[in-house]
Amino acid sequence: MGQLDGKVALVTGAAGRDNLGQKIAERLAEEGAKVVVAGRHEDELKRLADTIGGSYCLMDLTSKEEVEAAVDFAVETYGKLDIGVNAVGWGLMKPTTETTEADLDKILAIQFKGPFFFMQALLRVMGEGGSIIQISSATATIMLENHAAYMGTKAGIDHIVRTVANEYGARGIRANSISPGLTRTPMAGPTFEMKPVMDAFEKEYPLGRVGTREDIAEAVIWLAGDKCFMTGQNLQVNGGLTLRRNPILSELGAIMDEVTAHLQS
């Protein structure tokens, strides 16, 4: 018997092979939830939905209309919606002075407006026991250079999560966020193949390693379950990174140029 038997979940950002959203969807299904996965790439969504015995819908998080439609699809398919997880993000790395207006428009749409739309849509259909889960970042709390727009939008939506928790707790709806540090996902690109970079990061983690998709998915399972008596909180699921710091660019040297170039592409 799974921890989430009888629950229905919608996971956004699950259209990239082996990304964090996919692992979260897989774990939710393993614990008995019926899962709808949403994103922009139909072939991969269909593959995942077939694998986990769920459903899928195409959705661009930056479109309020498409977000509303995805939530309605989940309710129409399974009769209700108990869990909403947003795992969409864009790892923009640019110096503050080089961040363009187009960059800001894009990252605000992806990491602030889109999550706001998602929470609005979820609140429209959720009832007692509903759980809203936003994937945030340790960098919403601690520093990482050349990451201002990313960090600011993550911190901003964390505060919206707190306001939702405060306003909708009376309806029995919980809202929380999870902050990974550096995590082994495709989004991290070539970082994990660069030993000097990994050595510099790993020494800042009290638990001695960077995170995995599985670490974050397990936190989602707990937040999604009825035994979770928590709302309006940000879980730092990053091995203690926020007790220390991320390495600074001068410590990483020229090798970081390659990482930054990848993340900008």
pTM of the model: 0.94
Question: Which residue(s) pair with 12 in the sheet?
Answer: 38, 86
Structure tokens at 30: 């393993």
**pLDDT of res. 74:** 98
Structure tokens at 260: 């930054």
Q: Are 37 and 112 in contact (CB under 8 A)?
A: no
Distance CA 135, CA 148 (A): 17
**pLDDT of res. 192:** 72
**pLDDT of res. 251:** 81
**pLDDT of res. 100:** 98
**pLDDT of res. 189:** 62
**Given the residues 56, 150, 168, 205, the one annotated as active site:** 150
Q: Are 6 and 37 in contact (CB under 8 A)?
A: no
| 150 catalytic residue (yes or no) | yes
Distance CA 59, CA 64 (A): 10
Handedness of CA 68, 74, 77, 83 (dihedral sign): negative
**pLDDT of res. 252:** 78
- Residue 235 one-letter amino acid: L
Domains of the chain (ranges, CATH numbers): 8-185+211-243 (3.40.50.720)
pLDDT tens, position by position, 174-221: 999 999 999 987 766 667 777 888 888 999 999 999 999 999 999 999
| Angle (CA) 179 182 187, round 5° | 100
Report which of 152, 89, 84 is spatially closest to residue 118, judged by C-alpha positions.
84
Structure tokens at 33: 């939830």
**pLDDT of res. 258:** 60
Q: Where are the alpha helices (DSSP H) in the chain?
A: 20-30, 42-52, 64-78, 101-108, 114-125, 148-168, 195-202, 213-224, 249-252, 255-264
Residue ranges of the chain with per-residue pLDDT less than 70: 187-190, 253-265
- Residue 194 one-letter amino acid: M
Distance CA 196, CA 139 (A): 21
**pLDDT of res. 260:** 61
Distance CA 117, CA 168 (A): 16
